[in-house]
């Protein structure tokens, strides 16, 4: 392993592309391997054991490919097994969790809705995170499985249906100051949510913070690469690779 070794990034499907995009923008010289596990998507409705099994299989493969670090671009997989993965491998494993802390730091007595998968919201990891803030803030958990399905089924252009689904989840959230997008799939809906919500409601996700944390670790270990920039596309369902590329280009075109 050296600075020119690639970084592995994986997700249950297409959501992690939003993290991949942040990493590539922040560190354009890094070679990246992206794995979407679309054959086994969604993770959010599976058991912790099933998600752990898939995560180990993917990480084993990435380690065999000589990656210098692995980013779990999936809040659900992080919630299910990040401590186990960090014990299993001798490279840095960067996980994600709903960005509740930044939402709470916006002021006193914040009203916050956390949109995530069912498994993320029911895991002990999120319960511990929520316990740190719930005495001072009002926090509402909102599972949003339909938002994952739309991305995975390549239906992001079905704006009428998306509007109806977003309005339902907004109603479930109640009056809020912030919505935390606790699943990487949900970042695709930011533009639509801006149109649906009051200007007073903030949208917060953890993608940028994850990318910066990765860069800090690589800098500390003198492992930053400035001479690469290639992206290798992998998927447990090979028919989804072209969709991965299209969705990634969609993110790039917004810049």
CA dihedral 22, 28, 31, 37 (to 10 degrees): 20
Q: Which two tokens stand for residue 104?
A: 């709470």
Q: Which two tokens stand for residue 14?
A: 């297409």
Do β-strands 32-36 and 92-94 pair in parallel, antiparallel, or remain unpaired? unpaired
17-31: burial string, b at 16+ Cβ within 10 Å, e else: bbbbbbbbeebeebb
Active-site residue flag, 81: no
Strand intervals (E) in the chain: 7-11, 32-36, 69-72, 92-94, 111-116, 138-143, 178-181, 202-204, 231-235
- Kindly name the residue from 59, 81, 144, 183 that is annotated as catalytic: 183
Beta-bridge partners for 34: 9, 233
- Kindly name the residue from 59, 74, 81, 144 that is annotated as catalytic: 74
Q: Which two tokens stand for residue 186?
A: 């949900």
Tokens 């447990």 locate to 236
Cα 82 to Cα 213: distance, rounded to the nearest angstrom: 16
Angle at which helices 145-152 and 159-173 pack, to 10 degrees?
160
Angle at which helices 124-131 and 75-88 pack, to 10 degrees?
110
Q: Which two tokens stand for residue 242?
A: 């072209």
Cα 119 to Cα 52: distance, rounded to the nearest angstrom: 12
Active-site residue numbers?
Answer: 74, 183
């Amino acid at each position: 392993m050296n600075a020119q070794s690639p970084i592995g990034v994986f997700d249950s499907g297409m959501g992690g592309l939003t993290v991949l995009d942040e990493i590539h923008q922040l560190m354009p010289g890094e070679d990246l391997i992206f794995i979407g596990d679309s054959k086994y998507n969604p993770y959010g409705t599976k058991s912790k054991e099933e998600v752990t099994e898939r995560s180990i299989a993917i990480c084993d493969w990435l380690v065999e490919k000589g990656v210098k670090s692995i980013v779990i671009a999936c809040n659900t997989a992080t919630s299910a097994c990040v401590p186990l993965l960090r014990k299993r491998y001798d490279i840095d494993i960067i996980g994600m969790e709903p960005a509740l802390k930044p939402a709470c730091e916006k002021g006193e007595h914040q009203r916050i809705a956390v949109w995530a998968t069912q498994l993320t919201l029911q895991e002990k990891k999120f319960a511990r995170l929520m316990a740190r803030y719930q005495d001072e803030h009002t926090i509402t958990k909102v599972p949003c499985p339909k938002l994952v399905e739309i991305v995975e089924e390549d239906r992001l252009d079905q704006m009428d249906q998306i509007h109806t689904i977003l309005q339902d989840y907004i109603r479930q959230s109640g009056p809020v100051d912030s919505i935390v997008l606790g699943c990487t799939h949900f970042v695709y809906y930011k533009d639509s949510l801006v149109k649906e919500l009051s200007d007073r409601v903030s949208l917060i996700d953890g993608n940028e913070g994850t990318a910066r944390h990765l860069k800090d670790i690589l800098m500390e270990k003198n492992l930053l690469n400035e001479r690469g920039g290639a992206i290798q596309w992998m998927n447990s369902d090979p028919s989804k690779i072209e969709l991965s590329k299209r969705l990634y280009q969609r993110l790039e075109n917004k810049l």
